[in-house]
Amino acid sequence: MLKITRFFIGLMFMWLQFSFVQAQTTILDQTMLTQSSFNTFTVVNVTGPQQWGFNSLYGAVCSGYANGQSYQNEDWLISPVMNLSQMNNVQLNFSHTRGNAEVMDVGVNQGWYKAYATSQYTGDPATTNWIELEGLNQYIPEAWQFVSSGSLTIPEAAQSSNSRIAFRYISSSSASAMWEIKNIKVTGFPEGTNPGTNVVFKITNWNTEWLGCETFGPENENLQINNVADAMLAMNSDIYCLQEVSNTSSNPSIETLVSLMGSAQWGGAIAPANTGDCNQRQAIIYKKSKVQLISASEMLNGNAAQGNSYYYNWSSGRYPALYNVNLVAGSTLIPISLVNIHAKAEDGNPTSYTRRKGGSEGLKALLDGSNYNTKNVIVIGDFNDYLIGTTSESCNCTDSPFKNFMNDQTNYTGITSDITDADTSWGFHPIIENIIISNELDDNYIANSALQEEAIAETISGFYYNTSNHLPVTALFQFSTLSNPEFTKPEASFTLYPNPVKDELTITLSGLADDTDAAIYDLTGRQVLFQKLNGTSINVGALPSGIYIVRINNSAAKFIKE
């Protein structure tokens, strides 16, 4: 079953890639595995005795270690000129690794290994206006193992007829690692062609088993949270919905995870923000370059059902957590309501089934209401039961407690209902961590992409004992700037000028009230300015130079700050 699923996923990605390749142009393609390929780049030594060098097996290499000691270094590897002035959706991809094992991750959190782009290289890295390329995959599973950088977007502010990319290496006199880079490729779409704006988002659910709790779960708390961070970096999803997380001032699990993964690239939240020791709650970790967190809250006001209060049905107060986010697809922001749940566990008591069923009924009544019934909704989490059939044998039940969702095929689809659990230690059975999507997302879900992340258990020694007894579950979604009618046919619109702008950005509103809220985001998805439009302009003078997106209601527009 899983092999068939993965086969179809592979075919699907091949089709997506083929549909884009007709218009896509390769702008730079250097393996760095020959001297001539390496020589197309410029080596600049700023500080220290070492510099970038060539190796026919490993590509471009730089190390601050020599003669038994480390040296302080800053070294740049700068590409030849590229004409990006009439290109869209320009992406950089490369393979890289670090070593040796003892020091392979030294300096990662300090930003020692970075990729940049510029519209005009001055001949001196210190005087060049570089733009850091966000989202670089810094996770190396083990020393000398090459991994993909991920697709790094070269922003418009770095696009000109004289554009270049660069790699900066740093080491210190107390520590250093070798950085190796090969297979560097820059691609884009010429203006006037289909830029292939479909953006794929990977969303993963994971019960992390008492994360942050010293009383229950894995005994070595430090090892567990490091393993969780490593696993999430390896899976490289855009959003992680987590269950069984506690977050206290003395043990801030979310802050620790974000720090371990890299706070420049990752963000996180948990509702409520302070859980109390060993209180099980549902959290979110997300990639800043592709996700904006709008709000985090508990869904408190549900209906009683099956003879129980809403509070009791949700494990005596373990309410669904609502995370409203925007997915960033180019200049389009796609609103998603993530409902992260952890249903009442099966404990052999027939009332557990009744409480799961009551919780499901109360939640569906909320989602069917006017606040959610036209929104993009994903119900995701540890359902503690199947979507078809049930784990409950004690009550002689046959139907899933979530049958109310499954029967409403007009409005909901259980995309994980047919997955068989890879952990067969207690027999063959469906999974209990599940994902249900609202009908608004049917066309965005990539068919047959939902699966368990089996491989992650194999990469962590003793995974089920020292990390989690649950396997993550992943699904893929794709969006384009034209895929969501909420954005393609706005009820109201606005225009911006001047563009580029230095100080006052004037906004001409059409069909919008003058006191409408306006939010400005940078290209990493971080909100940098928010204000109510009491007039027709916003002062953006304090913003650094670059490209920004202003969003008003469901409309968005891009501007350049000089």
Q: Where in the chain is the domain with CATH 3.60.10.10?
A: 199-479
Q: What number of residues does the chain have?
A: 562
Fold of 490-561: Immunoglobulin-like (2.60.40)
How far is 368 from 313, CA to CA, in rounded Å?
A: 19
- State the DSSP code for 543: S
Q: Which amino acid is at 463?
A: F
Structure confidence at residue 324 (pLDDT):
93
CA 154, chain centre distance (Å)? 18
Structure confidence at residue 491 (pLDDT):
39
Q: Where in the chain is the domain with CATH 2.60.120.200?
A: 25-190
Phi, psi (deg, nearest 5) at residue 60: -80, 130
Q: Where in the chain is the domain with CATH 2.60.40.3080?
A: 490-561
How far is 286 from 291, CA to CA, in rounded Å?
A: 6
Q: DSSP of 364-377, one letter per residue?
A: HHHHHSTTTTTS-E
Q: Is 75 exposed, middle or buried (0-12, 13-18, 19+ CB in 10 A)?
A: buried
CATH 3.60.10.10 fits 199-479, yes or no: yes
Q: DSSP of 429-493, one letter per residue?
A: -B-SEEEEEEGGGTTTB-TT--EE-HHHHHHSTTHHHHT-SS--EEEEEEE-TTS-HHHHS-SSE
Pick out the chain residues at pLDDT < 50. 1-22, 194-196, 482-492
Structure confidence at residue 14 (pLDDT):
38
CA-nearest of 97, 77, 74, 82 to 166 is 77
Structure confidence at residue 147 (pLDDT):
83
Domain 25-190: CATH class, spelled out: mainly beta
Structure confidence at residue 244 (pLDDT):
97
pTM: 0.59
Q: Which amino acid is at 326?
A: N
